[in-house]
Chain A
Amino acid sequence: MINYIWYFLILIGITYSFFTGNSALINNKIIEASSEGIRLVIDMLPILVLWMGIMNICEKSGLLTKFARLLKPLLKKLFPNVKNDDALGYIASNIAANAIGLGSAATPFGLKAMQELQQENEKKDTASDAMITFLVLNTSGVTIIPTTVIALRQAAKSINPTATIVTGLIATFIASFCGLMLDYFFRRRKRK
């Protein structure tokens, strides 16, 4: 998938610029873009390093587990059919880690949760209800601190780099809610 998208962007960009006579501009852009990419990484670096340091304290002090435990009662409601407590624990940790911007720590928890859910799954090649709900919850996931966004806003000399934390939170809750509602609708339709 990513192969096609990547090539599609490049192909469309270059062919379109030939048609419109923008090829000189594209030529410059090709060289410029790479240094722009490196600059982007350097812009993100300080906040990522700092935040990963802080969040490591959060993880090692047991705060993340505590945070995840708080989520469990809510998750029991969202996943009524999951009897496996470990699965719920991993789901909670995944969501908690995503929420505080620890994306790289969230993925291992997520994969563990999928393994646990797969054990309860009756048809091994088909996604179970719980898996789908988990995926919707994960991808529409609540992000409290969008680290890279803040870093890039700061680098672009924003007067308030953290301005969009609250708007992002509201939008993310609406997205999660709508995704879960549609999932609920699909599940009910199946049962009938």
Chain B
Amino acid sequence: MSSFIIPLIIIFIIGYGLIKKVNIYEIFLEGAKDGLVTTFNITASVVAMMFAVQIFLSSGFIEGVLGKFTSFFELIHFPIEILPMALLRPISGTASLAIMNNIFLTHGPDSFLGLLASTIQGCTDTTIYVLALYFGSVHITKSRHALICGLFADLTGIIASIIIVKVMFGF
């Protein structure tokens, strides 16, 4: 089912543009150029985060220190490899992206961890970053229960991802 979604969206959007007599080819090129600029703009932050995340992950800190709590995480059925991604996700989308890529390289994108990381990356957001940006833009300093609600949503998203990936892909 998943593999139909993108092709269908593409035919629909381009078709709609054609019916509305939009200069689809020109408009496509204009957007694609923006895509180039966007990618170019994130390059520096991706390199910066990749650098930090790689050092952190390859130091063995997770296995060494967090590994002591393995039995606890096993008890609650939480895969420990996902933990750094879950912790960094609200702060930096690039950092969690780098961790996800690392999981793809070590465990494979179609493994349980690979599918789980992909699902989590898609269903959560950089809550703390967005909060700071949006509230900062209108000079709001007291955010009340916004952070708790936002992080709670991310947490439930992660828990839901674990269950859903297990059920739908039969792990």
Interface of B is mostly: helix
Q: A9-B52, A179-B153 are in contact. Are A126 and B142 (CB under 8 A)?
A: yes
Chain B positions 54 through 96: 1 when the CB is less than 8 Å from some CB of chain A, otherwise 0: 1111111100110000000000000000000000100110010
Size bin of chain A's contact surface: 35 or more
Query: A41-B46, A52-B38, A114-B134 are contacts. A158–B110 as well, Cβ < 8 Å?
Result: yes
Q: How many A-B residue pairs have CB under 8 A?
A: 353
A111 touches B134 (CB 8 A): yes
Q: Mark B92-117, 1 if CB is under 8 A from A, else 0.
A: 10010110110011001110001100
Q: List chain A residues, Cβ under 8 A from B16.
A: 57-58, 61, 63
CB atoms of B142 and A29 under 8 A apart: no
Chain A residues, Cβ within 8 Å of B146: 127, 131-132, 135-136
In the complex, chain A residues whose CB is within 8 Å of the CB of B30? 53, 56
B5–A53 touching, CB < 8 Å: no
Interface size class, chain B? 35 or more
Q: B64 contacts A20, CB within 8 Å?
A: yes
A186 touches B149 (CB 8 A): yes
CA distance A5 to B5 in the complex (A): 37
Scan residues 110-144 of chain A and give those whose CB is less than 8 A from a CB of chain B: 110-111, 114-115, 117-118, 123-127, 131-132, 135-136, 138-141, 143-144
**20 A-B residue contacts at CB 8 Å?**
A17-B60, A29-B54, A29-B55, A36-B50, A37-B46, A37-B49, A49-B32, A53-B31, A53-B32, A56-B28, A61-B13, A63-B16, A111-B134, A123-B142, A131-B134, A148-B97, A160-B110, A163-B169, A164-B119, A175-B160
- Sample of 12 more A-B contacts, CB < 8 Å, known A29-B58, A135-B135: A1-B128, A9-B55, A36-B54, A54-B13, A61-B17, A115-B137, A126-B141, A140-B123, A163-B118, A174-B160, A178-B153, A179-B153
B residues lining the A interface (CB < 8 Å): 1-3, 5-6, 9-10, 13-14, 16-17, 20, 22, 24, 27-32, 34-36, 38-39, 42-43, 46-61, 64-65, 88, 91-92, 95, 97-98, 100-101, 104-105, 108-110, 114-115, 118-135, 137-146, 148-150, 152-154, 156-157, 160-161, 164-165, 168-169
